[in-house]
């Protein structure tokens, strides 16, 4: 038997197409819902689905029951699932190309593909665009001028956003959003304003930027927005929506709402898509239908508006769901049971345990960094310059550096008694699975972290072995930026995370959520897995200059996306508790 190692995105596409076929065939409602839930959870994994299958752990994934597990087993063994192929047989192949378009679900895609003979995936969207431009869609039963215009807009928008443009780092999107919001608040008719979509959900990367404004004067707000100096091109201008491209090539969509329906508009356009699907299904079960304008009772014409999201969720008898948790996994059930976690906040953090100074590749002195930590309000601060090389400097010189650093910290500790200053090193985990510093040096530190900085292209087994060997070292407290990813630059390494986490739990070690905006590592799904396995986490900035110590909020964003509370993060503890949990080796 030849195993088929399919990447996660291909697995998700196969499942989504099977789900669409189920909806067309009218399969059992509960089977359809089970697939919706499973797809949402699998789509948010950073761990390879194939690897989980190979380790016989599929059933440990929430939402993956016996049937779905068996289908995935067949897929990875044979490259196809006979049931899925039977479901799709006879359906026009072009319908599957349409499903990704905004507002086109499985049934609409089938109807359009069947009516206009869209039998090829490759040409389906182009042919549909031609049909829409010739005003033929509005002649179909169940469609009209408005839906035809929406489909054409979705196709055009898809072409604009599907180009080769990489998604923006969250930190870059934040800068754009802040400039837009500051500018828009100059307009007297802007009552409320928020950024939506993946930005509001604190995704590590962001595509288009969506902004919503509550106002009683749509025309004046739209006019003010169109005078924003960074606009390079106006794509569309409608009564309630304006689409533009900025000089930096970012697309911005402005949506306009009345103050009375602002909460519904905010909820609907924050997403994620799967969250909205689950919420819509929950509402349908209670006899309600949801839209961006409010909630309507089945069979009634009047729509109930909501000025806030809290009122919107409350009307459905749900606890408010923070935007970061709206992945479409189990958050609706948690809200129904009033079990939404009390998510960690930046103000919960009491110390930063990874940073760099001029002693290695940082830009500020140790004292500068300490002063910055005091300004932030931290109880403790750990410096972790890259460890000096014993190979190039010799053991005697490295020991001298450590003695001198200890003396410097002792002086600074007396000068700044309001904060505990800790001495650590970031130690390279080398390609041969050894550490760049010997134990005789490591034991002289208050703590140390192990990080991979080279040989990212090693085999899965070699990468796994490197991380586990580092965890087994008694002087390594945690693994820094564990997946090694650089967003938009370098893919994460591919260790056997189940083995890594088992070793981490067995050794009583920690994993880091690195808050550098181009790392944000561990990713949220792996961080969530750590909490599930009772593996403590530490959020650090990995600051290389004092201003970067403000990056802590980006690491907290990742923790919030994972549904993590303050109790799961060790550097939310007061110093005494932290020292014990972190296994500090404090020198007398």
Please say which residue of 237, 257, 277 terminates a domain.
257
211 and 300 both lie in a single domain = no
Rounded to whole angstroms, how far apart are CA atoms 503 and 467? Answer: 9
pLDDT of residue 467: 98
241 and 202 both lie in a single domain = yes
pLDDT of residue 157: 66
471 and 493 both lie in a single domain = yes
155 and 288 both lie in a single domain = no
Which pLDDT tens digits describe the chain residue by residue (588 residues)? 566 778 888 888 899 899 988 988 888 877 888 888 788 778 766 667 887 888 788 887 777 888 898 999 899 998 889 999 999 899 988 888 887 776 688 888 888 888 889 888 888 888 888 888 888 888 888 788 877 887 887 777 665 444 445 789 999 999 999 999 999 999 999 999 999 999 999 999 998 999 999 999 999 999 999 999 999 989 888 889 999 999 888 999 999 999 999 999 999 999 888 898 889 989 999 999 999 999 999 877 789 999 999 999 999 999 999 999 998 888 999 999 999 999 999 999 999 999 999 999 899 999 999 999 999 999 999 999 999 888 878 888 999 999 999 999 999 999 999 999 999 999 999 999 999 999 999 999 999 999 999 999 899 999 999 999 999 999 999 999 999 999 988 889 889 999 999 999 999 999 999 999 999 999 999 999 999 999 999 999 999 999 999 999 999 999 999 999 999 999 999 999 999 999 888 765
Cβ contact 349:539 at 8 Å: yes
User: Does residue 450 form part of some domain?
Assistant: yes
450 and 541 both lie in a single domain = yes
User: Does residue 587 form part of some domain?
Assistant: no
483 and 458 both lie in a single domain = yes
238 and 270 both lie in a single domain = no
- CATH number of the structural domain spanning residue 283: 3.30.210.10
Buried residues in 554-580 as b, exposed as e (16+ CB within 10 A): bbbbbbbbbbbebebbbbbbebeebbe
User: Does residue 77 form part of some domain?
Assistant: yes
User: Does residue 548 form part of some domain?
Assistant: yes
Cβ contact 112:119 at 8 Å: no
330 and 395 both lie in a single domain = no
- CATH number of the structural domain spanning residue 184: 3.30.460.10
The number of distinct structural domains making up the chain is: 4
User: Does residue 341 form part of some domain?
Assistant: no
User: Does residue 3 form part of some domain?
Assistant: no
- CATH number of the structural domain spanning residue 572: 3.20.20.140
149 and 185 both lie in a single domain = no
Can you tell me whether residue 44 is helix, strand or coil? Answer: coil
Cβ contact 522:512 at 8 Å: yes
Residue with tokens 């999201």: 309
Find the domain containing 100 and state its range.
8-161
Q: Name the token pair of 281.
A: 């299904």
Please say which residue of 214, 235, 257 terminates a domain.
257
HEC sequence for 244-302? EEECCCCEEEEEEECHHHHHHHHHHHHCCHHHHHHHHHHHHHCCEEEECCEEEECCCCC
Please say which residue of 301, 336, 371 terminates a domain.
336
320 and 418 both lie in a single domain = no
Rounded to whole angstroms, how far apart are CA atoms 539 and 480? Answer: 10
399 and 436 both lie in a single domain = yes
481 and 370 both lie in a single domain = yes
pLDDT of residue 106: 85
């Amino acid at each position: 038997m030849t195993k088929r190692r399919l990447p996660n995105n291909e697995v998700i596409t196969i499942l989504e197409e099977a789900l669409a076929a189920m909806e067309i065939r009218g399969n059992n409602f509960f089977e359809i819902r089970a697939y919706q839930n499973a797809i949402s959870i699998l789509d948010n994994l950073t761990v390879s689905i194939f690897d989980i299958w190979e380790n016989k752990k599929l059933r440990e994934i929430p939402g993956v029951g016996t049937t779905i597990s068996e289908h995935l087993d067949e897929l990875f063994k044979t490259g196809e699932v006979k049931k899925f192929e039977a479901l799709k047989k006879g359906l026009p192949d072009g319908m599957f190309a349409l499903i990704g378009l905004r507002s086109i679900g499985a049934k609409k895609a089938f109807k359009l593909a069947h009516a206009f003979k869209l039998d090829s995936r490759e040409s389906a969207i182009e042919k549909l665009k031609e049909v829409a431009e010739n005003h033929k869609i509005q002649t179909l039963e169940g469609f009209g001028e408005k839906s035809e215009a929406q489909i054409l807009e979705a196709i055009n928008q898809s072409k604009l956003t599907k180009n080769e443009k990489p998604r923006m780092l969250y930190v870059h999107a934040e800068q754009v959003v802040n400039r837009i919001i500051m500018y828009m608040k100059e307009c007297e008719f802007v009552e409320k304003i928020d950024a939506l979509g993946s930005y509001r959900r604190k995704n590590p990367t962001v595509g288009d930027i969506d902004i919503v404004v509550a106002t009683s004067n749509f025309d004046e707000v739209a006019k003010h927005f169109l005078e924003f100096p960074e606009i390079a091109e106006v794509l569309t201008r409608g009564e309630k929506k304006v689409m533009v491209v900025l000089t930096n090539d970012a697309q911005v969509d402005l949506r306009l709402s009345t103050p009375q329906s602002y909460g519904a508009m905010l909820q609907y356009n924050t997403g994620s898509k799967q969250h909205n699907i689950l919420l819509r299904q929950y509402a349908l079960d209670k006899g309600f239908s949801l839209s961006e304008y409010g909630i309507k009772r089945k069979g009634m014409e009047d729509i109930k508006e909501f000025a806030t999201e809290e009122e919107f969720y409350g009307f459905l008898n749900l606890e408010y769901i923070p935007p970061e948790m709206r992945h479409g996994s189990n958050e609706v059930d948690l809200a129904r049971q009033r079990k939404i976690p009390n998510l960690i906040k930046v103000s919960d953090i009491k110390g930063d345990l990874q940073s760099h100074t001029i002693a290695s590749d940082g830009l500020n002195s140790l004292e500068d960094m300490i002063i910055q930590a005091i300004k932030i309000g931290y109880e403790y601060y750990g410096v972790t310059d890259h460890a000096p090389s014993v190979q190039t400097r010799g053991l005697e010189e490295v020991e001298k550096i450590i003695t001198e650093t200890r003396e410097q910290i002792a002086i600074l500790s007396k000068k700044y008694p309001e904060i505990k200053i800790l001495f650590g090193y970031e130690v390279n985990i080398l390609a041969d699975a050894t550490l760049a510093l010997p134990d005789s040096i490591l034991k002289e530190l208050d703590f140390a972290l192990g990080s991979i900085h080279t040989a990212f292209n090693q085999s899965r087994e070699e990468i796994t072995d490197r991380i586990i060997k580092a965890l087994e070292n008694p002087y390594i407290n945690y693994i820094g930026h564990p997946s090694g990813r650089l967003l938009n630059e370098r893919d994460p390494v591919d260790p056997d995370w189940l083995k890594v986490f088992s070793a981490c739990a067995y050794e009583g070690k920690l994993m880091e959520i690195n808050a550098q905006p181009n790392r944000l590592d561990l990713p949220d799904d792996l961080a969530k897995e750590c909490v599930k396995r009772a593996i403590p986490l530490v959020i650090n900035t990995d600051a290389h200059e004092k201003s970067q110590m403000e990056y802590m909020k980006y690491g907290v964003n990742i923790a919030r996306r994972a549904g993590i509370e303050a109790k799961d993060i060790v550097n939310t503890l007061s110093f005494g508790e932290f020292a014990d949990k972190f296994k500090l080796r404090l020198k007398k």
